[in-house]
Chains A and B, each alone.
Chain A
Amino acid sequence: MSAIQFPAPDASILSRRAEIVAALARLVAPESLVTSEDELRAFETDALTAYRRMPLAVVLPSTTEEVAAVLRACHAMGVNVVPRGAGTSLCGGAIPQEDAVVLGLGKMNRVLDVGFADRTMRVQAGITNLSISAAVGAEGFFYAPDPSSQLACTIGGNIAMNSGGAHCLKYGVTTNNILGVRMVLVDGTIVDIGGDAMDAPGYDLLGLVVGSEGQLGVVTEATVRILPLAEGARPVLFGFDTSEQAGAAVAAIIGAGIVPVAMEFMDKPAIEICEAFAKAGYPLDVEALLIIEVEGSDAEMDAALARIVAIAREHGVRTVRESKSAMETAAIWKGRKSAFGATGRVADYICMDGTIPTGQLPLVLRRMDEIVKSYGLRVANVFHAGDGNLHPLIMYDVNDPEEARKAEDAGNDILKLCVEVGGCLTGEHGVGIEKRDLMRHQFTQADLDQQMRVRAVFDHGWRLNPAKVFPLDGRWTPASEAA
């Protein structure tokens, strides 16, 4: 695919590569600097693998001070920097540029401090999402946001993208679970934002940093909230004859005052793909599947599930399967959590991430099917039903450039549809390069200019992850203000 443009590399930077690499070599240990073509190859893309760019060099610092030194040097030399966690971004948020240095935080993966009494934990930015929970699980705590990539993705990346997950209906997304960060600004200044108190003083800078896609600074440490694990968690699986029925059941459950910890929707193609992979016992004779999970003691879960099952029956549920064991629970979730991987075994796919008002679900599913069919492609849908976050997986053949272009066009049409019905372009993956050129469908120029003015407060020269988020044309700079 080549539809998405990158800025042309700065020839003067490329010609100074040796000098830039030499400067970086003075700042970090030899094993922390990657310059050979073979080794750089590992960093040329992220999870948006259709796009690749070889970076100028990759630096893998071990301390905040090293990050600051690298940023200070790059700033002085006029070199762009692309921060990177585990490289699991689905929107191309970590894809390099030929004239940019990649700053990888993977070596900074330690737990620094745990405060069980305050329910907080300080970690380095390169720690994986799952490792945070693993470090406090024995004491009965966990870190709540749970993106599907949680085994690999880092908290620094989660902060950059404001990642969500299946359980954010109850626990919120990354921005609701971070109390503070240590961050290095583009000029190498180290700044602490927020802290370990529940409210931070002054403007909510932390709220701006979370979800800023590595454009405001490089986060090196984070203070996260940890929460007590529930006594237990148990899903129920429902099969419905129509997605309308499934959607109505979700609305009725919320209407009854029940907020389950997760409500996940899958359509028929997704059910078939995931069942073939995970052997989770999903029903194959239904059009829509819901996984609804509740938490609490056994008695509380029994009571909550009884209410939920009664509501589902009022909405014509065809299949009801309550998990009776930890193994069954794991199997039910394995199917859902492996949806992306399972689809990848069947076909190449691009994963979309729009959000819609949940009441628009039947309309959007119908229109989406029409859109994808009009391009001669297939789509499977997984969907966070409680919050309206859609993940259509558009299947295509990566070796067929024509089909690849169609898949991208179909995806763009779907995201425009999400905006038209009152939703947004991205619910939890981020804009990156993938949705950058659609931003004007959601925002006016005044909206984007205000965002870019705030961005410029942190990085007026567009040095940090500059190819992402904002359309390449019409970018606001302090100079455009003067004009």
Chain B
Amino acid sequence: MDAGERGGVSAALLPRDEAELVAAVAAAAAAGTPLALEGGGTKAGIGRPAQAERSLSTRELTGITLYEPSEMVIGARSGTPVALVEATLAERGQMLPFEPMDYRPLLGSEAEPTMGGVVGANLSGPRRVVAGACRDSLIGVRMVNGRGEAVTSGGRVMKNVTGLDLVKGVCGSWGTLAAFSEVTFKVLPTPETSATLVLHGLDDARAIKALSAGLGSPFEVSAAAHLPGTVERVPKTLLRLEGFADSVAYRAGRLRALLAPYGSSALLEAAQSAVLWRSIRDVTFLAEPRGEAIWRVSVAPSRAAAGVAAILDAAPARHLYDWGGGLVWLALPAAGDAGAAVVRAAFAGTGAHATLVRAPAEIRAVVDVFEPPAAPVRRLTAGIKASFDPRGIFNPGRMYAGI
């Protein structure tokens, strides 16, 4: 049965296997029907408003296709819930290294996030500072390009330089290049325990210096965040340690001594630490009020605090830092351009880039949601889009107008 016929004319296309996915995309390509590609649709509010006629969801392409704990590799069909993959890994004491964030608290969505969605958004969480991003753990993708051709890149082994690395090219492409059929990751053992060192009352610049000192130490800090006065009564600067208990205890002691110049510190044990880092990962501190716009800024940590200070001078903003200061989350009034001019001016010339992850559709329609690329990069971007999706049927315009 054709995937498009189940559930009525305007309902989502819901292919149940790769062959149906190929058929659905090929039909849309032939008819020139623009498709909104999604998994669970929990991040549908990110990007420029879709200019699609139909949605194609991979949420019925489910199931773990490969799991070899001793080889530290797991593969799943793209619609497999993230929760199922994480639970399967947890049974064998393993985890996705990059700690994918869950956008639902921030975006107020309720469906089930999928592994394909994690790849499409290159979702990474606090452990990104040591374990890399989603794209660093992703080792294989089966996908369908905009011609309706099944294409494979990478595979199931973690060292693979055979041919052009399309795995990286499609990770973080927000459904604009290909519909994923199956994704494969390298994984890591879950640390035996964790602890978090907390420094109190530091201003942003000094906090980021403390985080840099920790991340530049040999003590394997696995996450580094700062909750400033705009979100916490007393600012908290947080450094996480993970591993075997004896090793965590040893490194906590050494890290405390190293960071003594930044004031006295407290130590959160594993359970408290886990709750706190989940909140940081999912940015729940900025989730309410719902009406505010949310920005996400990626920047070299040493240039983060000055950029934020310029924003705070110009607008009523709340913020927090993850990734040792390299990731700034900001909440700004969702009026006018939702703070786009202020945010981008504050970080101009720093090599930073800002993404508007939450705002009403009418603002996202007129503001650059993703940082506008320089001319030669835009040309390459448009070329890559056309190389995968020549008729522009996948999420047209979601990232950039005309791409």
Real binding pair: yes
Contact status B373-A204, CB under 8 Å:
no
> How far does the alpha carbon of A259 sit from the alpha carbon of B190 in the complex, in Å?
11
Count of CB-CB pairs between chains A and B under 8 Å: 260
Q: Least Cβ distance of A446 to chain B in Å?
A: 4
Whether A303 touches B247, Cβ cut-off 8 Å, given contacts A198-B129, A208-B165, is: yes
A430 contacts the other chain (CB 8 A): yes
Interface readout for B268-302 with A: 1 if CB under 8 Å, 0 if not?
00000000000000000000000000000011111
Alpha-carbon distance between A424 and B388 when the two chains are bound, in angstroms: 24
B161 contacts the other chain (CB 8 A): yes
Residues 323-374 of B at the A interface (beta carbon under 8 Å): 323, 326-327, 351-353, 355, 370-371, 373-374
The answer for the CA separation of A254 and B68 in the assembled complex, in Å, is 11
Q: Let me know if B380 and A427 touch, CB within 8 A.
A: no
On whether the beta carbons of A197 and B159 are closer than 8 Å, the reply is no
B69 interfacial contact with A, CB 8 Å: yes
Q: Given known contacts A198-B298, A357-B157, is B162 in contact with A119 (CB within 8 Å)?
A: no
**Would you call B217 an interface residue if the criterion is a C-beta within 8 Å of the partner chain's C-beta atoms?**
yes
Of listed A258, A304, A422, residue having the most chain B CB within 10 A: A422
Give which listed residue, B157, B169, B244, contacts A207 with CB less than 8 A. B169
Expressed in whole angstroms, the Cα–Cα distance for A231 and B302 within the complex equals 25
**Does A446 lie within 8 Å of B381, measured CB to CB?**
no
Q: Is the C-beta of B152 less than 8 angstroms from some C-beta in chain A?
A: yes
Residue among A117, A427, A448 making CB contact with B216, cutoff 8 Å: A117
- Given A297-B250, A303-B246, A431-B163, check contact A230 B173 (CB 8 Å): no
Contact indicator per residue, chain A 257-272, by CB within 8 Å of chain B (1) or not (0): 1110000000000000
Residue of A nearest to B138 (CB): A207
Which residue of chain B has its CB nearest to the CB of A173? Answer: B159
Cα distance, A413 to B153, chains bound together (Å): 22
Mark out the residues of chain A between 287 and 320 whose CB falls within 8 Å of any chain B CB in the assembled complex: 296-297, 299-300, 303-304
Q: How far is the CB of B392 from chain A (nearest CB, A)?
A: 15
Complex alpha-carbon distance, A208 and B135, angstroms = 12
Query: B383 in the interface, Cβ–Cβ < 8 Å?
Result: yes
- Residues of B with C-beta under 8 A to A125: none
In chain B, what residue has the closest Cβ to A217?
B380
Stretch from A322-330, A401-409, A455-463 that touches the partner: A455-463
B261 touches A (CB below 8 Å): no
Q: A208-B168, A211-B164, A257-B93 are in contact. Are A115 and B136 (CB under 8 A)?
A: no
Size range of the chain A interface in the assembly: 35 or more
| Alpha-carbon gap, A201 to B217, bound state (A) | 28
Q: Is the CB of B158 within 8 A of A387?
A: yes
B25 to chain A, nearest CB (A): 13
A24: interface (CB < 8 Å): no
Contact A251 B70 (CB under 8 A): yes
Q: A300-B250, A450-B388 are in contact. Are A439 and B169 (CB under 8 A)?
A: no
A204 to B124, CA, bound (A): 15
By a CB distance below 8 angstroms, the chain B residues around A389 are 157, 159
Task: Indicate whether A228 sits within 8 Å of B218 (C-beta atoms), given known contacts A176-B132, A251-B70, A422-B155.
Answer: yes
Contact present for A115 and B152 (CB under 8 Å): no
B150 beta carbon closer than 8 Å to chain A: yes
Query: Is there a chain B Cβ closer than 8 Å to A202's Cβ?
Result: yes
Binds B, one of A3-11, A51-59, A187-195: A187-195
| Cα-based distance from A473 to B153 in the complex (angstroms) | 21
- Could you say which of B122, B150, B373, B387 has the most chain A C-beta atoms within 10 Å of its C-beta? B387
Having A203-B177, A359-B71, A388-B158, one finds 11 other A-B pairs with CB under 8 Å, namely: A115-B302, A199-B122, A199-B298, A201-B373, A423-B157, A424-B162, A427-B157, A435-B162, A447-B163, A450-B153, A450-B387
Chain A residues within 8 Å of B, Cβ to Cβ: 115-120, 140-141, 161-162, 164, 168, 172-173, 175-176, 185, 189, 191-193, 195-208, 210-212, 228-231, 250-252, 254-259, 296-297, 299-300, 303-304, 355-359, 384, 387-389, 422-431, 435, 439, 442-444, 446-451, 453-458, 469
CB within 8 Å of A: which residues of B?
A: 68-73, 93, 122, 124, 128-129, 132-133, 135-136, 145, 149-153, 155-169, 171-173, 177, 188-192, 209, 212, 215-218, 244, 246-247, 250, 254, 298-302, 323, 326-327, 351-353, 355, 370-371, 373-374, 376-377, 380-381, 383-384, 386-388, 399-400
Q: Can you identify 13 A-B contacts, CB atoms within 8 angstroms?
A: A162-B161, A175-B168, A199-B298, A207-B135, A228-B218, A250-B70, A256-B189, A257-B189, A355-B160, A358-B71, A422-B157, A450-B166, A450-B388
